[in-house]
Amino acid sequence: MRKVGIIGLGHVGATLAYTLVTENVVDELVLIDKDEKRAISEEYDLLDAQVFLTGKTKIIIQDYQALKDASVIVFCAGQISALGDDGDRFKELEITSKIVEETAPKIKQSGFDGIIITITNPCDVIAAYMQKQTGFETTKVFGTGTMLDTARMQQAVSRNVSIDSRNVGGYVYGEHGDSQFVAWSTVTIGDRPLLTWDSELDLNQLDEAVRAGGWNAFAGKGYTSYGIATCGARLIRMILNDAKTIVPVSAYDDQMDSYYGQPVVIGKNGIESFISCPLTEKEQNSLKESVQIIKDGLANLPFKQ
């Protein structure tokens, strides 16, 4: 049985739930939110939608015990209004860390032993904190990380070279935040390194375009939802189908003792293996700086177990 739980039914959680139902990704969907009226409304809205769909998804709300036999939990609870006008994800940490502290014991008590994907901001710190609070293996707790940022990189490159973004490879590394960076040494179009395709590209300008992509999606409505919910849905499919697909997510690297965005193989066990890409010296230094920001954010949180 394909069963998934979503904790937090704001813009992202609700969009993810809608995506999973309309695309018939799951057989059962457990929806949990601190606002019970919201959960009830989402349940009825999704049931209405199913009248016109070919698939059927059983909806269960506000029941942590129903998570026991779920394969995946997606944690996307938060308070997007805390980000303010500049979109600084760390402004949410005081709120979201407390939600983790409240939620993790309930997840453990339910008997759940599947995979936890975190979307909540700041993504890398919350992934690490959720792992610490649950005590689950690091391979079974990871964040969406730089998956969305990598998609924004593909879009930026695509616009500049007039090639479909799905032909662009490579990864954004580090924090899902201001210190992220494109590892240009990994970026390809088809099977060719980017700079052999167009040596005149301004990589600094492209880097800014990647960051601007997120801001452009956020600025006019105060949140983003479609892109990140699609990332969540794709990761769920990878796990349910044991796809063994390479994507950049926020995963724990024992050598750096930190979660951060990096390419890994995703399958039924969560993170199946890591993909080691040779980074340039400049990229390695950027990674160290980005990881330190994540570590500093986690260091300020109390560890309760």
Q: What's the pTM value of the predicted model, to 2 decimals? A: 0.95
Q: Is residue 87 very low, low, confident or very high in pLDDT (cuts 50, 70, 90)?
A: low
Per the prediction, the chain carries an average pLDDT of 93
Does the pLDDT value for residue 304 go beyond 70? no
Domains and CATH numbers, the chain: 3-143 (3.40.50.720), 147-299 (3.90.110.10)
Residue 267 labelled as part of a binding site: no
Instruction: Collect all residues with Cβ–Cβ distance below 8 Å to 142 and sequence separation of at least 6.
Output: 115, 116, 117, 118, 127, 249, 250, 251, 252, 259, 264, 270, 271
Residue 269 labelled as part of a binding site: no
Residue 12 labelled as part of a binding site: yes
- Crossing angle for the helix pair 36-50 and 11-22, nearest 10 degrees? 30
According to DSSP, the residues that pair with 193 across neighbouring strands are 188
Compute the average pLDDT of residues 123-142.
97
Residue 15 labelled as part of a binding site: no
Query: What amino acid positions are annotated as catalytic residues?
Result: 176
Residue 300 labelled as part of a binding site: no
Q: Is residue 305 very low, low, confident or very high in pLDDT (cuts 50, 70, 90)?
A: very low
Does the pLDDT value for residue 61 go beyond 80? yes
Q: What is the pLDDT of residues 2-15, one digit of tens each?
A: 999 999 999 999 99
Residue 20, CA distances (Å) to 94, 128, 285, 297 in order: 30, 26, 39, 32
